[in-house]
Structure 1
Amino acid sequence: MKLYDLDASGNCYKARLFAGLANIDLEVIAVDFVNGAHKQPPLIDLNPLGQLPILQDGPFTLRDSQAILVYLAGEYGGLAWWPNHPQGQADIVQWLSFAANEIQHSLCAARLVEKFGYGLDQSAALAMAPGVLEWLDRHLAQHDWLAIGRPSIADCAVYPYVVLAPEGRVDLKPYRHVCAWLERVEGLPGYVAKP
């Protein structure tokens, strides 16, 4: 199974992190992003959006980090990471959506501008960040894990851009429950260090 990867990408890190925690073997293939390899054949043929990560499992190809997490958990991770009941799955999916929306448009966007010079509205991203982190901190004041009462792909989806938020000039220190959760994730067996 191959993961076409960019080490600095939080979205690629989601797949690497989960594979480490679930003991899933991945052949990680570094992509020359700077020179646009992700927008040229053969990668553009695998993902016409020209984005990373891309997962190839035999003849099956998948794009989008959230979808990759669901697939890896369902196919290889077992019920510990992706339960077989709709309530547990829905609990996890709401966090995948949170990662793809609230986290993406705040913490991730601020990092993309600060670290990589993307032409996004950094002030809007930074203005959103405290509300996102306060909401997450309130949830984690009541729960050790984001969903289903144990580590799941929900944690793998949200963790990367939260832990990388300081690279976007977002201070995590005021959010003690978030900081404690980051430490819990980092203490899991198989944890893969952040880029």
Structure 2
Amino acid sequence: MPRPLPTEPLVLYGLPLSGHCHRVALFLSLLRLPFRYEELDLAAGAHRQPDFLALNPFGQIPVLKDGDTVVADSNAILVYLAGRYGADEAIRWLPADPLGAAEVQRWFSAAASLLAFGPARARLKHVFGADIDYAAAMALADRLLPVMEQTLSARAYLAADTPTLADIAMYSYTAHAPEGGVSLRPYPAVRAWLQQVEALPGFVGMPRSPDRSGD
């Protein structure tokens, strides 16, 4: 049975420079799904306005609107899209077996913890001038990347021998870690994995950000 297709373009609320938003935009592109970006001015507090809070009471991006269906949280959106529109793809984005699904969830947890508070937060300091504990962010990056290197030295992708949602969740902030001063030079397997993700049909990158650390 052919996979269902949206009757109208999906709407992605967020920012192109957000890795959380990029992982959703990347997956939408890999699935060849039409969508439009609804960019929010976070500096002006657009995410705290009643109309956006009606979509996500937590006031966080990204949010995806698919007709009357609204899904918040980047990893939750990936799961929704894989189940709704990825069923007949050659790639099993979300493994059906319990162990495979658990492996994806393990990397979702890493994306929401070590990645988000490590490389992603270090990037906030360089790109946006955020007032963060930079040393703590770098320490988390130093915990995360060796584990990724070890995993990717044993298999081609993070959760399986083929790409899964784990790779989509971990890609954006890992690829842009150098923008936060986190070097990927010591991690050849991680760099090879980034190239494999970038070679997937439909791949779209996240815009590069200027280094504002000296501003």
TM-score (norm 1): 0.95
Structure 2: 5+ residue runs without aligned partners?
1-9, 208-215
The corresponding residue for 1:50 is 59
What CA deviation, in whole Å up to 9, does each residue of 1:119-173 have, x standing for no partner?
Answer: 3211111122122111110110011011132111110000111001011111111
Number of residue-to-residue matches in the alignment: 195
CA contact under 8 A between 2:22 and 2:206: conserved in structure 1? yes
**Structure 2 Cα separation of the partners of residues 6 and 189 of structure 1:** 23
TM-superposed deviation, 1:37: 1.3
The corresponding residue for 2:7 is none
Pairing partner for 2:35 from 18, 26, 46 = 26
Offset from partner CA, 1:36-88 (integer Å, 9 cap, x none): 21211311221122111011122221111111111111111126212333222
| CA–CA separation in structure 1 for the residues paired with 2:95 and 2:187 | 29
Which residue does 1:129 correspond to in 2?
Answer: 141
Runs of 4+ residues deviating >6 angstroms: none
In terms of fraction of residues, the more helix-rich structure is: 1
Q: Identity rate of aligned residues, in percent? A: 43
TM-score, scaled to structure 2? 0.86
Q: What code does the residue aligned with 2:28 have?
A: A
Q: Which amino acid is 2:59 matched to?
A: G
Structure 2 letter corresponding to 1:90? A
Unaligned runs of 5+ in 1: none
Instruction: Single out whichever of 35-44 and 167-176 deviates more from structure 2.
Output: 35-44
**1:150 lines up with 2:167 in the alignment:** no
Counterpart check, 1:100 vs 2:100: no
Q: How far has the Cα of 1:25 moved from its partner?
A: 2.1
- Encode CA deviations 1:100-136: one digit per residue, 9 max, x unaligned: 1111111111111221122321111112212211111
Amino acid at match of 1:58: G
Q: Does 1:39 align with 2:48?
A: yes
Tell me the SS of whatever aligns to 2:143: helix
Give the structure 1 partner of residue 5 of structure 2: none
Which is worse superposed, 138-147 or 85-94?
Answer: 85-94
Structure with greater Cα Rg:
2
Contact 1:24–1:77 at 8 Å: present in 2 too? no
